[in-house]
Amino acid sequence: MSALIVIIPAAHRARGNAIARALDIDDGSRTFDDGVRLAAPTGDLYLAAHVQSPSAHLVDLFEALTPALLHRFVRAEYARRWPHAVVPSTTDCELFLADSIIEYGTPWSELLAAHSLTRINEEL
């Protein structure tokens, strides 16, 4: 089965977590804090979240993703599930997409090699 993998800079985890919350179709509790920690040769840290066997809807969303589409989706999920929470802005969605590595169907080993990333276990 293929996985959907999203990698973000660790420095942007608050923004990433706010958006990931809306993408979690279960209860909104899954965040990048629950994922894999990665390091680049430069010393920069990254966080990765993955969804094993994602729904076709989620794959379709990511394949056609634009900042505007992501913001509409996130805004609708927040309105439906957490109406009193602060919704990530359009700018947050733009920066999330600009900073992210998003892959579907690429094996972990190939993805990490392509971006010169290695797994680490240290706390942030």
At 41, the amino acid letter reads P
Looking at residue 124, its pLDDT comes to 47
The mean per-residue pLDDT over the stretch 2-11 comes to: 90
* pTM score, whole prediction: 0.85
pLDDT tens-digit profile of 25-48? 777 777 788 788 999 999 999 999
pLDDT tens-digit profile of 46-66? 999 887 777 787 777 777 889
Q: Compute the mean pLDDT over every residue in the chain, rounded to the nearest whole number.
A: 88
97 has a pLDDT exceeding 80: yes
Q: For residue 3, what are the CA distances in angstroms to 60, 62, 85, 107, 111? A: 13, 12, 29, 8, 12
- What CA–CA distance (Å, rounded) separates 111 from 64? 20
Domain boundaries along the sequence of the chain: 3-120
